[in-house]
Structure 1
Amino acid sequence: MIESTRGIVLNYTRYAESSIISHIYTQKLGLQSYMINQVRSRKKKDKHVFLQALSLLDLEVYHSEKKTIHRIKDFKVNTPFTQIPFEPVRRSLAFFLAEVLNKALKQEDKRDANLFTFLHQSISMLDSHLPGVQNFHLFLLFRLTRPLGFFPSMDSNEALPYFNLKTGTFQQSEPAHPHYMNHSETSILRQLSEIRIEELDSLQISQDDRTKFIEKMLEYYQLHLSGFSNIKSLKVLKELYR
């Protein structure tokens, strides 16, 4: 069966001499794997988009519920990138978020139109002249917890200074386990709940606090998503922001 759908490229694995298997989160079919032949051939430069993290595509695909790897009939770029491939910070953020999405979305079949729309719009914003882009990944990781099913219980009482990563709730005192956010990390979490993506530059935090917050958010994901493993590209972000 031929299906038409939008897609977001997450990552790929090499296959044979010049082919790859590309992992793409699609609007209609959820997370799928597609065989792309001759993608690394010099004669097939148009297929380089399947190597770029978070590329936004319009796809016509051959789909069968009996198969785990499918074929692409035709494709075109939905939104050409003008900054992500050429700007080190945005490019590194794209690789980091693509790795997170690939591990988070594969936990179950996510055919969520609202989730896809949110991701598509957010990625387009990452490629724009977005103020405060250094905080983009914080915002996306926080907002993504809602469709994934473990959005923090945002208590209106701002006096509660600790966020319990196990329960997803705020509390007055430190938990009896190490899985929690301290005062400054909890403050960042609250700020993220109150701003829009266009207001990321209002989040004034140090690089050290930003790094610690991201580590805590990834720990939060690991606690609530079975099989969510370490994010290798986090190391690149740390080096970039030094």
Structure 2
Amino acid sequence: PDPEFSYHAGDASGNYNPDDGNASVSVSIDISETDNSGLGAPFPNETQGFSMGLANGSEVFATAVNLSLPFTPDFAEDNLFTNGWTIGVVYAFTGGVTLPFTQQTTVITADYDTGGSMAGDPDGATVALTWDDGLGSPPVANVVVVDGGSSQALFDDGSITLNAVVTTDFIRGDVNADEKVNIADGIWIIYELFLGGPVSTCPISRDVNGDGNVDTGDAVYLFNYRFLDGPDPTAPFPDCGQETDQTPEDCGTSFCG
């Protein structure tokens, strides 16, 4: 039998806030070869290049196609479209450079972005990634090159799951959610940590110095800011905002929302 290769598009997920609908994810793109040596076919076969076309749903678009090979090919050109991407790769124009796929191997990492397409959508979506021989002009076929001949790839489609995650704006240091950052917030931290006081509804606001921990250092930092001309609490401060990679658990409710 002829060489039998498969293209595998991975599955990935990303979170977005319905307020802006923005999310970015990366998807692994792999190649594998079926071992048909038991049927008398050579295995593994030494590939000389490949071309790909992967379509996507309207919720996302590709921002980059990052090639990952154990060498720098003589030719590697990709094209990005709103509905997918294509790439053509030739290892060496003069021959002498080949690559076997004895196991499933990642050759590309494709980056995707929603571009705000999920704004106002509280439900999320699953976006199909499907291999497509019709992308581009002229269309790019999904083939692997062996001994100067092309072998049509088998397809393993992928997907991107977009999850709506609502996170709450807050002001760093406003532990008691009264729109002020003052001595009362420092006392709240001490009472909560050591004296069984009430728990803040916005735990991340207690991390006044922004070091990722909540301890006496945060109370001291706040007192220094208020009374000894110390540095301001780290952002978001003095206005409402969010922290990078913030989760819903970081802040349930605050003065900001």
Tell me the TM-score normalised to structure 1 length.
0.25
Tell me the TM-score normalised to structure 2 length.
0.24
Q: Name whichever structure is richer in helix by fraction.
A: 1
Larger Rg, first or second structure (1 or 2)? 2
Q: Name whichever structure is richer in strand by fraction.
A: 2
Where relative contact order (Cα < 8 A, 6+ residues apart) is larger, the structure is 2
